[in-house]
Amino acid sequence: MKKPVILTGLRSNNDLHIGNYLGALMPLINMQVQHAKDYDIHLFVPDLHSFTTPIDHSKLYEQTINNLRIYAAAGLDLDSPNTHIYRQSYVSAHSELTVILNCFSHMGELSRMTQYKEKAENKPNISVGLFDYPILMASDILLYDAQYVPVGADQSQHIELARDIAIRMNNKFGDLFTLPEPEAKQAEFMSQTERMRIRDLITPEKKMSKSDETGKGVIFLTDTPEAAAKKIMGATTDSFGEVHYDKKERPGISNLLDILAALTDTDIKEIVSRYAGQTQYGELKKDVAEAVSSFLTDFQFKLSQIDDAVIIKKLEASEIQMNKVANSKLLSVQKALGLRL
């Protein structure tokens, strides 16, 4: 019997930081570990989505492969037969279904998409691709009858749109598409894998983000272990002088505790108890610095050992398989629309 499908995109992004690692990569890998037996897991690289706003195209191909190297180094199991890793542009049915779905989608509903409005605001020459992004995303989902689509909150409106389009097409043409689960069920599913928010080291009131200009508050996965340790030692703390977990009152210290707990897989309470009675943060900072630098040493070693041939082999095998699945769905749509007998 066909297994239910979980589908999610692996974003291309070369400036990944420890926040992305703990807040996005690890939950994804945990999801794979948790569900690989009972679900078909589709992890696709949305390369056609990557230039809805201008990018440096000379880097696109390499970035895709590099991103997959990072996922593999972080522990993504490339051998799992139920995990399919493929590039969107290598499965042409994504583009073909988009052209079809365009004719069953409304300008009004696309104009209301918050992400479009935000990205398009005050910009000249907005691309049609940016406007149409949610329809390509609907194709990504509907081609494989995906049930769960773990995405950030900014994308949940797009999943609702995919549902609306699928309902509209099913009403007109019969049961063509499986509906992705509604938002509440998606949220419930996603909450099974814990997501954490890592804060900026210098300004712990905001999240760690690659857009930080100085880079001092951000631990990039490419930082040398020494540089990263220095950044931790320079992290903003507070004047309480007592190790205590309180995200609101003591965001800096709580952030360091979060990082230490996640990297050493230890309970926060247990960590806090180690520093009971101390009146300074030096010891804690040293321990976090050590954990971060040993994490980076280990991660960067793993990354250097990744064999590109293994990645390419997995991509090619999945792409052959996914072309079969997607083309079969596309054919049923083409038949329903009168394009094929």
Judged by beta carbon, residue 9 or residue 180, the one nearer ligand AMP is 9
Residue 290, Ramachandran bin (φ over 0: left; ψ between -120 and 50: alpha; else beta): alpha
Catalytic residue status for 210? yes
> Does the annotation count 119 as an active-site position?
yes
Q: Is 204 in the site for ligand AMP (CB under 6 A)?
A: no
Sequence-distant contacts of 132-135: CB under 8 A, at least 24 apart = 132/98, 132/102, 133/49, 133/52, 133/158, 134/110, 134/158, 134/161, 134/162, 135/98, 135/101, 135/102, 135/105, 135/110, 135/165
Q: Catalytic pick from 207, 216, 247, 302?
A: 207
Report the nearest approach of ligand AMP to the CB of residue 12 (Å).
Answer: 11
User: Which of 3, 59, 117, 119 does the annotation list as catalytic?
Assistant: 119
CB of 152: closest distance to ligand AMP in angstroms?
Answer: 5
> In the bound complex, which residue of the shown chain has the CB atom lying closest to ligand AMP?
23
Q: Which amino acid is at 213?
A: E
CA distance 287 to 277: 17
Shortest separation between residue 16's beta carbon and ligand AMP, angstroms: 7
Q: Hey, what's the torsion of the CAs at 45, 159, 138, 20, to 10 degrees?
A: -10
* Nearest of 191, 187, 195, 84 to residue 140 by alpha carbon: 84
**Tokens in use for 329?**
């769905």
Residue in this structure with the two tokens 């321990």, named with its chain if needed:
287
Residue number with CB closer to ligand AMP (24 or 161):
24
- For ligand AMP, the binding residue among 20, 64, 105, 293 (CB under 6 A) is 20
Question: How many amino acids of this chain bind ligand AMP (CB under 6 A)?
Answer: 15
Binding to ligand AMP, residues 211-250 (CB under 6 A): none
d(CA 49, CA 43): 14
9 binding ligand AMP? (CB under 6 A): no
Question: Any contact of residue 24 with ligand AMP (CB under 6 A)?
Answer: yes
Q: Which among 18-26, 84-92, 248-256, 320-328 is the span making contact with ligand AMP, rule CB under 6 A? A: 18-26
**Beta carbon of residue 208, minimum distance to ligand AMP (angstroms, whole number):** 4
How many angstroms separate the CA atoms of 264 and 27, rounded?
16
Q: Which residues are tagged catalytic?
A: 119, 207, 210
Binding site for ligand AMP (CB under 6 A): 11, 13, 19-20, 22-24, 152, 196-198, 207-210
